Amino acid sequence: MAVKGANRYQILESFEMRLGNDSETEFVTALNEINKIALFRLRDM
C-alpha cells in the first residue's frame, strides 16, 4: 500500500476496507497502489 502522506488511522481504515475485496478487485487495487509507489519514488529522484 502506498502510505506516503497517510496517517496511521487512514492506513488502518484502508486495510479494513480492503479486507472485503474479492480477488479481482484486490488485484486491481494492488496494481494501482504499485503505480502510486512508483510515482512517489520517481518524483523523489
Which residues, in sequence order, are CB contacts of 24 under 8 Å at separation 6+? none
What pLDDT, on the 0 to 100 scale, is given for residue 10? 97
CA nearest to 37, candidates 8, 3, 2:
2
Grid cell, residue 31, equals 496494481
CA distance 27 to 10: 20
pLDDT of residue 34: 97
- What pLDDT shows up at residue 6? 94
Domain of residue 13: give its range. Answer: 8-43
Kindly state whether residue 2 falls inside one of the protein's structural domains. Answer: no
Establish if 1 belongs to a structural domain. Answer: no
Single pTM value for the model: 0.79
Collapse the DSSP code of 21 into the 3-class scheme (helix H, G, I; strand E, B; otherwise coil) and give the result: coil
Q: Is 17 within a domain? A: yes
Residue 36 inside a domain? The answer is yes
Residue 29 · residue 2 · CB < 8 Å: no
- Copy the grid coordinates of residue 9: 488511522
Could you tell me if residue 27 is inside a domain?
yes
1-45 confidence digits (pLDDT tens)? 999 999 999 999 999 999 999 999 999 999 999 999 999 999 999
